[in-house]
Amino acid sequence: MNNWFTVKVKYTKQLEDGGFKRVSEPYLLAAMTFTDAEARIYEELGSIIRGEFVVNGISRTEINDIFSYDDSDIWYKCKVTYENFDADSEKGKKVSQNFLVSADSVKQAYERITESLKDMLVDISIPSIILSPIVEIFPYNEELDKEIGRRPLEKTDVVDEETGQVTSSEENADSDTDDEDENSGVVFSASGSDAEDEDEDEIES
């Protein structure tokens, strides 16, 4: 199962005035483990960033869904809360979830997150909307997942009924999973979480 990870990358960036500056920028990507996240960021940025770059921080990030719009590459983190009724205890429990939405302003982010979640069967509130430092988002990519070897291949023996000869074949260990290619559409999802909003714990290298 994929989760969202924030990966901080340090490299020398060429500025608009032609100068150079050493910067550390965060990217958000879907991966199964911290190791997978590091491997994938090198695959994704290898052809984008000129020169060498290093990963200096990886943190698991609780994001439920991401709503992307083509007219903006600025990301806002929206905290959404709602009451979840527990049938056993007959009591309501407050649930908080984080969403990312691309927009050009806080007002537009509010309008877009409200529109995106209008079909929820509970009343929601949006206590906070903050500008996110995320530079770019890399959703789950099935083809890249196979290329960097995150899905181990399993050998299976096949017996020819006529000749009795045994041959071996390789199949993806996760070939029967129900995961869908999350690159399609404008909503990007990973595992999601119903956990309370928490500060991100970083692993610094």
Helices (H), ranges, 60-126: 106-116
Tokens of 199: 């500060």
Give residue 185's pLDDT.
36
Question: What Å distances lie between residue 93 and 83, 85, 114, 150, 197, CA to CA?
Answer: 6, 6, 21, 37, 14
Mean pLDDT of 28-42: 94
Of residues 112 and 93, more confidence is placed in: 112
Q: What is the pLDDT of residues 108-155, one digit of tens each?
A: 999 999 999 999 888 999 999 999 999 999 998 766 555 444 444 344
Q: What is the pLDDT of residues 54-69, one digit of tens each?
A: 999 999 999 999 999 9
Q: Would you state the structure tokens that stand for residue 138, as one six-digit string?
A: 């890399």
**What confidence category does residue 177 fall into, taking pLDDT thresholds of 50, 70 and 90?**
very low
Mean pLDDT (the chain) is 78
Give Dmax (Cα) for the chain: 73
* 170 vs 138: CA distance, rounded Å: 28
Cα angle 61, 62, 68 (rounded to 5 degrees) comes to: 90
pTM above 0.85, yes or no: no
What does each C-alpha distance from 42 to 56, 107, 113, 114, 130 come to in angstroms?
12, 35, 31, 35, 28
Closest residue by Cα to residue 78 from 63, 49, 94, 98: 98
Distance, in Å, from the CA atom of 105 to the CA atom of 98, rounded to the nearest integer, reads: 18
